[in-house]
């Protein structure tokens, strides 16, 4: 096979029209930084210039989101791969595009972010006339599921929330893509509806068969999930244990599922599962340590078989089940910079054109167009060209033992030029969730702290997703043991003379915010300060608040897994740092968005009140209009600027 041809300087020519959308309003560019500490806060946390690249099924056109820094908004840019001419979906009010997908080779559908926080509605445009936008739905939170093969002018959408009524799951609707205007009375042209199966509160996931039809639903009731199969609009339960078999995809026979099966050792096996008789096929692939049940699959061009899996091991990986694809991956890897992750971001229906996203721990990523017939690889653009790779910090995997002997992973980011013969100041940065995990790769928050001279430690404590049963599943609700795992990781850093015990801080958001304050409360003397954004500090109150929101599954599931807080008061108080404020002896920085509908802002207000009463030094920052994440760039810059000053003062 001839070598892959790499055209790595093509980005200047191919994407010059697009990059004009991403440039700052001031044409006078600041001087390039020569030291990591010179990189402004905004450079780490501004959105990437382009994201979500998607080829149309024929592989003739590329669409992606292009960020406009001046307005902090996304436009939808469409390119013809024949001449790289660019057009954009930009209505008269310059909408901020939230998410999009190709409905077919000609049409795109997309949502619009109306308040910088939530993507509402569904709109359509033709790639040849992108400024003419058709409104399909303006009132709901919608997820596009796809187009049925037998009805190419239809679109299946999941109406996850109806803004006019109670905010609950409203099932799947099949709508007509050919319409040019909305029906009178603000009603979609709905061809068919698939409601939530009777007797269930909602659906966690819909599965389509190879013809694009809704075939399965993972529906929930009282905190438990059941799998149901749909035949002729009738639902029937499937005899499957979802704790053992995680559905990945539907086989060519709609009665057969590909599943990630948990075997006797707690590892995962890729197998077929027959939903009519409950039998399993032979093992197609296995992983003893990592869980591919939350990953995605690659199909062959004819979509008759799974040829690969994409999931997180130490880093995100593409695991190929066919030798031909594995050999091609090795050739692509050899043509791109060493030590990079080279993952398929999009592919044409026939698999002959691919968009490759190449990234590393020090490089946020570049996009490449790969032509399989020509064996040609063209660089399109870097996603964050303002960040010099040479000034970014390296990331290493660290394995350590928890106090009960369980082996856990963590990731250590070392500041550029760090003298490894000497321990240094460390920021412990536990992830949120807790059902999430960190991986090797580029992380903007870690790079920001490293640029300011701090070592950053991101531990994957028990309950973190993506591992085998022993780490990810059995201990998924053991909040205090998760805290202990973070503590054990920090002590391992100190023992290895990586961390200076006199200069330790813990910083986190969401569940990471809980762990930050828990670290200050439950480990007095370990840290010099702590920072929380959008944390929860009283688990009992959190469960009470869940009774009042529309997340029925979370409410019921928490109660089933954790128990009744009224009957287990000591247990809930022991895991809640709000009840141990008197043990906190170090300064805290507490921040929260005022419109957080995930973790109630009152959690932080109550903590601040308790800190004042206990005389604990602290700073508080309540950000008007912000939600659970920091959606607006100006708020991200303000927050991290204040956190930087707080850490400089106390660490």
In the chain, the percentage of residues whose pLDDT exceeds 70 is: 89
Average pLDDT on 524-530 reads 97
List, for residues 389-406, the tens digit of each pLDDT value: 999 999 999 999 999 999
Residues 301, 444, single domain; the answer is: no
Q: How confident is the model at residue 90 (pLDDT cuts 50, 70, 90)?
A: low
Q: What does the pLDDT read at residue 163?
A: 46
> Between 488 and 128, where is the model more confident?
488
Q: For residue 453, what are its two tokens?
A: 């001279």
Residue 346 lies in a domain: no
Q: Which of 90-99, 584-593, 634-643 shows the lowest per-residue confidence on average (mean pLDDT)? A: 90-99
Spatial CA neighbour of 138 closest among 102, 185, 101 = 185
Residues 620, 472, single domain; the answer is: yes
Average pLDDT on 216-242 reads 92
Average pLDDT on 463-474 reads 86
**Residue 236 burial (C-beta neighbours within 10 Å; 0-12, 13-18, 19+):** exposed
Average pLDDT on 46-66 reads 95
Residues 511, 634, single domain; the answer is: yes
Residue 135 lies in a domain: no
Angle at CA of residue 379, ends 377 and 382, nearest 5°: 150
Q: For residue 119, what are its two tokens?
A: 């993507």
Residues 6+ apart with CB under 8 A from 91: 131, 133
Q: How confident is the model at residue 643 (pLDDT cuts 50, 70, 90)?
A: very high
Q: With the C-alpha atoms ordered 24, 28, 29, 30, is the resulting torsion angle positive or negative?
A: negative
Average pLDDT on 360-370 reads 97
Average pLDDT along the chain = 88
**Residue 164 burial (C-beta neighbours within 10 Å; 0-12, 13-18, 19+):** exposed
3-state secondary structure 152-212: CCEEEEEEEEECCCCCCCCCEEEEECCCCCCECCCECCEEEEECCCCCCCEEEEEEECCCC
Residues 300, 415, single domain; the answer is: no
Q: Give the residue numbers spanning the domain of 436.
A: 393-538+576-650
> Between 580 and 32, where is the model more confident?
580
Q: How confident is the model at residue 348 (pLDDT cuts 50, 70, 90)?
A: very high
Residue 452, pLDDT > 50, answer: yes
Tell which phi-psi region holds residue 522, choosing left (phi > 0), alpha (psi between -120 and 50) or beta. alpha
Q: What does the pLDDT read at residue 8?
A: 47
Residue 505 lies in a domain: yes
Spatial CA neighbour of 546 closest among 591, 600, 478, 479 = 600
Residue 486, pLDDT > 60, answer: yes
Residue 63 lies in a domain: no
Q: Which of 18-27, 284-293, 612-621 shows the lowest per-residue confidence on average (mean pLDDT)? A: 18-27
Residue 277, pLDDT > 70, answer: yes
Q: What does the pLDDT read at residue 168?
A: 66
In the chain, the percentage of residues whose pLDDT exceeds 90 is: 63
Residue 613 lies in a domain: yes
Average pLDDT on 177-190 reads 56
Largest CA distance in the chain: 73
List, for residues 282-331, the tens digit of each pLDDT value: 999 999 999 998 889 998 877 678 999 999 999 999 999 999 999 999 99
In the block, which residue shows the tokens 């799974």? 306
Average pLDDT on 499-517 reads 97
What is the count of structural domains for the chain? 2
**Residue 268 burial (C-beta neighbours within 10 Å; 0-12, 13-18, 19+):** buried
Distances from the Cα of 134 to the Cα of 89, 226, 518, angstroms: 11, 37, 50
Residue 547, pLDDT > 50, answer: no
In the block, which residue shows the tokens 């007095």? 524
Residue 344 lies in a domain: no
List, for residues 190-205, the tens digit of each pLDDT value: 888 899 899 998 898 9
Q: How confident is the model at residue 183 (pLDDT cuts 50, 70, 90)?
A: very low
Residues 297, 419, single domain; the answer is: no
User: Looking at residue 642, which CATH number applies to its domain?
Assistant: 3.40.50.1820
Q: How confident is the model at residue 11 (pLDDT cuts 50, 70, 90)?
A: very low
Residue 3, pLDDT > 70, answer: no
3-state secondary structure 344-358: EEEECCCCCEEEEEE
User: Cα(142)–Cα(263) distance, rounded to whole angstroms?
Assistant: 36
> Between 109 and 547, where is the model more confident?
109
Residue 228, pLDDT > 70, answer: yes
Q: What does the pLDDT read at residue 546?
A: 54
Residue 7 lies in a domain: no
Residue 470 lies in a domain: yes
Task: Note the pTM of the prediction, 2 decimals.
Answer: 0.91
């Amino acid at each position: 096979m001839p070598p892959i041809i790499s055209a790595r300087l093509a980005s200047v020519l191919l994407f010059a029209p697009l990059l004009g959308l991403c440039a700052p309003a001031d044409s006078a560019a600041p001087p390039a930084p020569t030291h990591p500490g010179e990189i402004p806060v905004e450079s780490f946390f501004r959105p990437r210039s382009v994201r979500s690249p998607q080829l149309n099924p024929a592989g003739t056109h590329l669409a992606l989101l292009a960020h406009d820094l001046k307005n902090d908004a996304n436009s939808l840019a469409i390119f013809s791969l024949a001449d790289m001419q660019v057009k954009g979906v930009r209505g008269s009010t310059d909408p901020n595009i939230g998410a999009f997908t190709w409905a077919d080779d000609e049409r795109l559908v997309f949502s619009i972010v109306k308040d910088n926080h939530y993507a509402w509605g569904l709109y359509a445009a033709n790639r040849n006339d992108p400024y003419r936008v058709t409104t399909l739905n303006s009132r709901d939170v919608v997820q596009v599921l796809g187009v049925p093969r037998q009805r190419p002018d239809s679109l299946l959408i999941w109406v996850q929330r109806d803004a006019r009524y109670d905010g609950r799951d409203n099932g799947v609707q099949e709508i007509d893509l050919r319409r040019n205007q909305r029906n009178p009375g603000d009603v979609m042209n709905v061809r068919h509806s698939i409601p939530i199966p009777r007797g269930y509160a909602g659906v966690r996931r819909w599965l389509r068969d190879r013809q694009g039809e809704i075939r399965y639903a993972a529906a929930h009731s009282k905190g438990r999930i059941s799998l149901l199969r749909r035949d002729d609009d009738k639902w029937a339960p499937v005899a499957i244990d979802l704790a053992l078999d995680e559905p990945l995809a539907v086989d060519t026979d709609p009665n057969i599922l590909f599943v990630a099966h948990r075997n006797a050792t707690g590892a995962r096996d890729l197998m077929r599962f027959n939903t009519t008789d409950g039998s399993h096929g032979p093992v197609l692939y296995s992983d003893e340590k990592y869980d591919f049940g939350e990953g995605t699959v690659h199909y062959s061009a004819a979509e008759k078989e799974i040829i690969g899996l994409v999931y997180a091991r130490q880093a995100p990986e593409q695991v190929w089940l066919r030798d031909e694809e594995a050999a091609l991956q090795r050739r692509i890897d050899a043509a791109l910079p060493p030590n990079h992750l080279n993952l398929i971001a999009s592919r044409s229906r026939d698999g002959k054109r691919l968009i490759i996203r190449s990234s590393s721990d020090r490089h946020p990523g570049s996009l490449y167009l790969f032509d399989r017939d020509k064996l040609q690889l063209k660089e399109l653009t870097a996603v964050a060209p303002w960040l010099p790779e040479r000034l970014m910090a390296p990331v290493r995997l660290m394995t350590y033992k928890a106090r009960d002997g369980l082996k856990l992973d963590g990731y250590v980011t070392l500041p550029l030029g760090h003298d490894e013969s000497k321990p240094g100041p460390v920021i412990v940065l536990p992830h949120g969730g807790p059902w999430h995990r960190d991986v090797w790769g580029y992380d903007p928050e870690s790079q920001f702290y490293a640029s300011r001279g701090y070592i950053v430690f991101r531990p994957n404590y028990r309950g973190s997703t993506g591992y085998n049963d022993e780490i990810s599943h059995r201990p998924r609700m053991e909040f205090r043991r998760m805290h202990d795992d973070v503590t054990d990781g920090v002590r391992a850093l100190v023992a290895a003379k990586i961390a200076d015990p006199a200069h330790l801080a813990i910083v986190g958001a969401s569940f990471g915010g809980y762990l930050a304050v828990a670290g200050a409360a439950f480990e007095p003397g370990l840290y010099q300060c702590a920072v929380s954004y959008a944390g929860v500090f009283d688990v009992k109150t959190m469960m009470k608040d869940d009774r009042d929101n529309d997340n029925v599954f979370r409410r019921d599931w928490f109660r089933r897994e954790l128990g009744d807080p009224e009957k287990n008061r000591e247990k809930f108080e022991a895991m809640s740092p709000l009840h141990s404020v008197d043990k906190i002896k170090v300064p805290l920085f507490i921040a929260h968005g005022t419109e957080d509908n995930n973790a109630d802002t009152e959690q932080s207000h109550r903590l601040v009140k308790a800190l004042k009463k206990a005389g604990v030094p602290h700073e508080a920052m309540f950000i008007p209009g912000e939600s659970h994440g920091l959606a607006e760039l100006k708020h991200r810059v303000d927050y991290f600027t204040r956190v930087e000053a707080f850490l400089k003062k106390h660490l």
